[in-house]
A and B are shown apart, each in its own frame.
Chain A
Amino acid sequence: MKLSVDRTLCDGNGVCMGIAPDVFDIDDDLNLHIADEIPDDPAVQAQVRQSVTSCPVLALTLEE
């Protein structure tokens, strides 16, 4: 799973962080941080897929 963010689009809306808090973190300056390693856990990976399709500014891309 390779996850990337287009920082020109990301607005720190927090939808991804709400769905997959172990993978996405947004700091108080609204910058998104993505975990270096996505846990090898099907539940977390499902959350990541859901985060990508739920991003309201379409900033996340996932390569599986």
Chain B
Amino acid sequence: MVGETSQTIVVAGGSLAGHTVVTELERHGFAGQIVWVRGREGTAPYSRPALSKELIQGKVTAETIRLPVPQPYGPRVRIMDGAVCAGLDPHADRVLVTQPDLSERWIDFDALFVCTGTQARVPEAFAGLPGVHSLRTLADAERIKDRLAVRPRTVVVGAGLVGSEMAASLRSCGLPVELIVQGQLPMEAVFGAELGRFCLERHHANGVTTRLGATVTALTAEGPVTLTYDDGESSTADMVVLGLGAVTSCDWLDGCGLDLSDGLGCDEALRTARPNILAAGDVANWRHPLFGHRMRVEHWSNASAQARHAVESWLAGQEGRQPPAFADVPYFWSDQYGLKYQMVGHARGHDEVHVEEAGTGGYPFVTYLRGGRIVAAAGVNAPRAVMRMKARIQADLAGDPTSEEVYAR
């Protein structure tokens, strides 16, 4: 048992990070009450990465992507589905919760875990137009999937991870797809030019039409959707999917006095300036002790690992120990046209790349360096080469003299 029976922990957010905080508190035998404010979606947690990949392609269903509950939640877990945190008292440990019937109430807490994540970025002028979709939630994915039966001509706007995966998934369903790339290459912001070129070639080889260096300036939806671009050209579609990135969901913390400059600012141990308020997942902005700068990471592995860590940090504080720094090396993957893209590390600010081939496919394998140290690596169908770099990055950034040895392994 840890904690006191009189304690209340509020967990804000019903996706992977919130789910993991709750299951970890249960696993540690937390003695108090957990109030889990699961958010507007009103669904049990599910695997979000599957939405733009397997779910759209019909390989999985809403039922099969539910996250497993190791055991029924204990009697001390109170789940508030459809409820959202609407405010944090700047002077007292209490959150304002809006319930599905719109009634509001304050809940006092001993600790608060902020796991409210991100939402799809949708320009105001494009919001709510018929035939125009974004993709963040299960409901979003099901709305898109429901339209596929009529075989819509689709324009995907934005070629980051979600946009590129959507284009690939829709092509795999045999639909005509045009991909609007704001820069010159898809996934360039994530992977840089070398893998961006490879990704572009894969889209073309699979029959996607691309429009490069284009920004959508207007969308009209009367019957088919008309998209107008900044160069004056236009295209029409039966369906538009926006993949324009994500914005953090922390408006509800406005005015609470915490650092909200990009997500929710935390220390190395994921605690905010109020140490009984911690953050995990897409929303958490912390200084990575190895990379030496602040970051937010919007990927699956990070949400799970940070949630686990935030619980450890809180427990350490309870027991009067120094909470450990969160130093996981970020990792994500992407599935497109049967190929597995993988990246470890954090390439931001890199000033040098090395490109070679790796894996049985001989696809490009990119190493990213900053100031002569490896900060990230990415490859296609080369899990061993990519994962080996995780230890190398860890060792290299920690200045560990055995890093060469790790690399040679």
Chain A residues packing against B (C-beta within 8 Å): 11-15, 17-19, 21, 25-30, 50, 53-54, 56-58
Count residues on chain B whose CB falls below 8 Å from chain A CBs: 34
CA–CA, A53 and B26, complex, Å: 14
Asked whether B47 lies within 8 Å of A17 as measured between CB atoms, the reply is no
Q: Please, what's the 1-or-0 string for B319-344, where 1 marks a CB less than 8 Å from any CB in chain A?
A: 00000000000010101000010101
How many CB-defined contacts (below 8 Å) exist between A and B? 73
Asked whether B391 lies within 8 Å of A56 as measured between CB atoms, the reply is no
Choose from A18, A50, A53 the contact partner of B331 (Cβ within 8 Å). Answer: A18
Chain B residues packing against A (C-beta within 8 Å): 20, 23, 47, 49-50, 54, 60, 64-65, 67-68, 70, 300-301, 304-305, 308, 331, 333, 335, 340, 342, 344, 359-361, 381-384, 386-387, 390-391
- A14-B333, A14-B342 are known; give 15 further A-B pairs, CB within 8 A: A14-B387, A18-B344, A18-B387, A18-B390, A19-B301, A19-B305, A27-B383, A27-B384, A28-B384, A29-B381, A50-B305, A50-B308, A53-B68, A54-B304, A57-B60
CA–CA, A19 and B302, complex, Å: 11
A56-B50 contact in complex given A21-B387, A26-B383, A30-B381, C-beta closer than 8 Å: yes
Asked whether B359 lies within 8 Å of A18 as measured between CB atoms, the reply is no
Q: How far is the CB of A33 from chain B (nearest CB, A)?
A: 10
Asked whether A14 lies within 8 Å of B20 as measured between CB atoms, the reply is no
Q: How far is the CB of B24 from chain A (nearest CB, A)?
A: 9
> A11 — which chain B residues lie within 8 A by C-beta?
54, 335
> B383 — which chain A residues lie within 8 A by C-beta?
12, 14, 17, 26-28, 30
Secondary structure class of chain A's binding surface, majority of residues: loop
Q: How far is the CB of A24 from chain B (nearest CB, A)?
A: 9
- 26 residue pairs A–B, Cβ–Cβ below 8 Å: A12-B383, A13-B333, A14-B331, A14-B340, A14-B342, A14-B383, A14-B387, A15-B300, A15-B333, A17-B387, A18-B387, A19-B301, A21-B387, A21-B390, A27-B383, A27-B384, A28-B360, A28-B381, A28-B383, A28-B384, A29-B381, A30-B340, A30-B381, A53-B68, A54-B301, A58-B64
> B360 — which chain A residues lie within 8 A by C-beta?
28-29
Counting chain A CB atoms within 10 Å of each CB, which of B60, B344, B383, B386 scores highest? B383
Asked whether A58 lies within 8 Å of B387 as measured between CB atoms, the reply is no
Q: How far is the CB of B216 from chain A (nearest CB, A)?
A: 31
